[in-house]
Amino acid sequence: MISTVQGVLGLASGALVGFSLGLVGGGGSILAVPLMVYVVGVSDAHVAIGTSAIAVAANAAINLSNHARNGTVQWSCALMFAAAGILGAFTGSIFGKMLDGQKLLALFALLMIVIAVLMLKTRTRIGLPDVKMTRDNMPAIVGLGIATGTLSGFFGIGGGFLIVPALMLATGMSIMNAVSSSLVAVTTFGLTTATSYAWSGLISWELAGLFIAGGIVGGLIGTRSARALSMRHGALNIVFAAVIIAVALYMLARNLSSI
């Protein structure tokens, strides 16, 4: 059982996670895991990872429906990317459970900083409109889907901060389309990872429910904010990178001794 204070903190944390998913298609587990550990007070890092995986998957699915209504999801690319990443996510989650939880958080923080720098370097790129999966880009979509899925499962994350730049690299789509399309894979990878952790009894279902409830409200606000930012050239890329760097530095500061 969780306390009343933990319940309130869980709802508030879930709202922040939902906002991030709606805004940049990522940040779900990246935010959820530290929030569960440092704010809500979940002592077991692996339980925090498993619980965040199921909560983020549910919130990502809700946010996906919001983006789909706006017509910004590139379904052919998104579905193939997600399908390719399922096996990788499951395999990665098996190895991730073998590593110390604090070291997982620290290693992922370093990876986040690398991704942020790459996103800032490409912030002026407009992206191709109405991208579809073709024989030319399918190998890149499948290859990056498998690689991203493996990393997603290993670190116990939905993977949005990895999926968005991977989709842009594989297809040349705009960041707005990548943010929307990434939620297909975030949902899929999150469910795959959550299944593995649930099998090991590493999920707090009560806390997951609170995160999902809070995330519904936050996601609606985030999706509307993303549409507004996408109208300003490069603004969404900058926000995307800034969120990653801020969370990564915080995670490194808390886990420096584990590196």
Average pLDDT of the residues in 66-94: 87
Average pLDDT of the residues in 72-91: 88
pLDDT exceeds cutoff 90 at 80: yes
Query: How many other CB atoms are found less than 10 A from the CB of residue 183?
Result: 33
pLDDT exceeds cutoff 60 at 72: yes
Q: Would you state the structure tokens that stand for residue 108, as one six-digit string?
A: 């992922």
Average pLDDT of the residues in 85-98: 79
Q: Do 172 and 222 contact (CB within 8 A), yes or no?
A: no
pLDDT of the residue at 159: 67
Q: How far apart are CA 177 and CA 171, in angstroms?
A: 11
Cα distances from 211 to residues 55, 87, 145, in angstroms, run 6, 26, 27
> C-alpha 36: how far from its chain's center?
15
Beta-ladder partners of 173: 128
User: First and final CA of the chain: distance in angstroms?
Assistant: 33
Higher-scoring residue by pLDDT: 238, 135: 135
pLDDT of the residue at 127: 65
Please name the residues in contact with 30: beta carbons below 8 A apart, sequence gap of 6 or more.
108, 112, 157, 161, 244, 247
pLDDT exceeds cutoff 70 at 214: yes
Nearest to 174 by CA among 16, 25, 51: 25
Q: Would you state the structure tokens that stand for residue 138, as one six-digit string?
A: 């399918």
Cα distances from 255 to residues 87, 151, 195, 223, 250, in angstroms, run 29, 19, 27, 31, 9
Average pLDDT of the residues in 123-144: 81
Please name the residues in contact with 43: beta carbons below 8 A apart, sequence gap of 6 or more.
37
Residue type, 114: V
Q: Do 230 and 90 contact (CB within 8 A), yes or no?
A: no
Residue type, 80: M
Higher-scoring residue by pLDDT: 19, 239: 19
Please name the residues in contact with 113: beta carbons below 8 A apart, sequence gap of 6 or more.
244, 245, 248, 249
* Model confidence pLDDT, tens digit, residues 24-35: 776 676 778 778
